[in-house]
Amino acid sequence: MALEMRKICEKCNNPLQNEGEAYICVYECTFCHNCTEEMDAVCPNCGGELVKRPRPPKK
């Protein structure tokens, strides 16, 4: 099963690029770098750890 590559930060609504830096929890809640730092890398929805989202393979 592939990750859902969400295109906006769930907190600030800033756009996220597929190849750009983004952070996700186990439920794929997705946040930008700045919001992740503000939240101390803890998902506000589930309380899980936010980790760097893997980038898709280069074509």
* pTM, 2 dp: 0.89
In tens, the pLDDT along 3-59 reads 788 999 999 999 999 888 999 999 999 999 999 999 999 999 999 999 999 877 776
Q: What is the 3-state secondary structure (H, E, C) of 16-52?
A: CCCCCCCEECCCCCEECHHHHHHCCCECCCCCCECEE
The 8-class DSSP code of residue 9 comes to: -
pLDDT at 1 over 70: no
Please give the domain boundaries of the chain with CATH numbers for all domains: 1-59 (3.30.60)
Q: How far apart are alpha carbons 25 and 48 in whole angstroms?
A: 6
Q: How far apart are alpha carbons 44 and 34 in whole angstroms?
A: 14
- List, in sequence order, every residue forming a beta bridge with 23; answer none if it has no partner: 31, 52
